[in-house]
Amino acid sequence: MPTIKQPRYRRIALRIAEQISNGQLQVGKKIHARSTLATNYGVSSETARRAISILEDLGIVETHHGSGAIIISRDKAQEFINSESDAQNLQNLQTDLVKQIANQEEGLATLTQSLNAFIEQTQYYKKHNPFRPYELKLTKDSPMFDKTVSELNFWHRTGTTLVGILHENRLTLSPGPYAKIEKDDTLYFVGNELSVQNVYNLFYE
């Protein structure tokens, strides 16, 4: 967020107030005529007039027609400076907050992109790896042990395809209908999310 630029006449008024506050311009001293002030600051006489008008409104100077502006309060000048400083601090704080919000939004956008990329990769993996096998080790006793795949009617009862049996550290891939399943075997099979529960229920129903 860009800094809001003050009008030229207000900056001139603030500069004069600073000169009054630091003693460069003394109370009771007459400030240059508008034409001289305009020349010193390189502005129009109207801009100079508006700067003096601000100082008059704040009780820092008083003007007399035909005799210019007389400085009447150093304290008011300091109050004006303090007020402008507080306003600038608020503006700086606002600018910092806007930047922080922008940074958070940028970080959130990056996080969203990463999340979308993760989802896309997950979907791609699932699409191209639909047959990642589930596994289940049969460690408890079951009356279904020592029966063949055919006798168990494995596919119809579980809705899964048995792709491997690990028996005593020996893996049999694509076991046929006469392969037996025994206790402590590890079964590898493919199917949907309910596959593990279905196979478990077959042996431990």
pLDDT value at position 125? 56
Class of domain 134-204 (CATH, top level): alpha beta
Percent of the chain with pLDDT over 70: 89
pLDDT value at position 1? 41
pLDDT digits (tens, 9 = 90+) for 96-124: 788 888 878 887 888 788 778 767 766 66
Task: Please calculate the CA angle 176-180-186 and round it to the nearest 5 degrees.
Answer: 95
pLDDT digits (tens, 9 = 90+) for 38-51: 888 888 888 888 98
pLDDT value at position 186? 95
Domains 1-130 and 134-204 share a fold: no
Record the tokens describing residue 48, joined without a space. 């100079």
Record the tokens describing residue 169, joined without a space. 């550290």
Instruction: Enumerate the domain spans of the chain.
Output: 1-130, 134-204
pLDDT value at position 129? 58
Task: Please calculate the CA angle 200-133-204 and round it to the nearest 5 degrees.
Answer: 5
Distance set, CA 35 to CA 49, 61, 185 (Å): 9, 17, 104
Return d(Cα 147, Cα 150) in angstroms, integer. 8
Return d(Cα 155, Cα 167) in angstroms, integer. 20
Q: Please, are residues 158 and 205 in contact by the beta-carbon 8 Å criterion? A: no
Q: Is the pLDDT score of 126 beyond 90?
A: no
Q: Is the pLDDT score of 2 beyond 50?
A: no
Return d(Cα 134, Cα 158) in angstroms, integer. 13
**Residue 121 DSSP symbol:** H
Q: Is the pLDDT score of 14 beyond 80?
A: yes
Quick check: pTM over 0.85?
no
pLDDT value at position 3? 46
Q: Is the pLDDT score of 84 beyond 70?
A: yes
Q: Which residue has the higher pLDDT, 136 or 118?
A: 136
Q: Is the pLDDT score of 128 beyond 70?
A: no
Query: Is 138 buried (19+), middle (13-18) or exposed (0-12) by CB count in 10 A?
Result: buried
Q: Taking the CA of residue 11 as centre, how many other CA atoms within 13 Å lie in the half-sphere pointing to its CB?
A: 9
> Which fold is adopted by the domain 1-130?
Arc Repressor Mutant, subunit A (1.10.10)
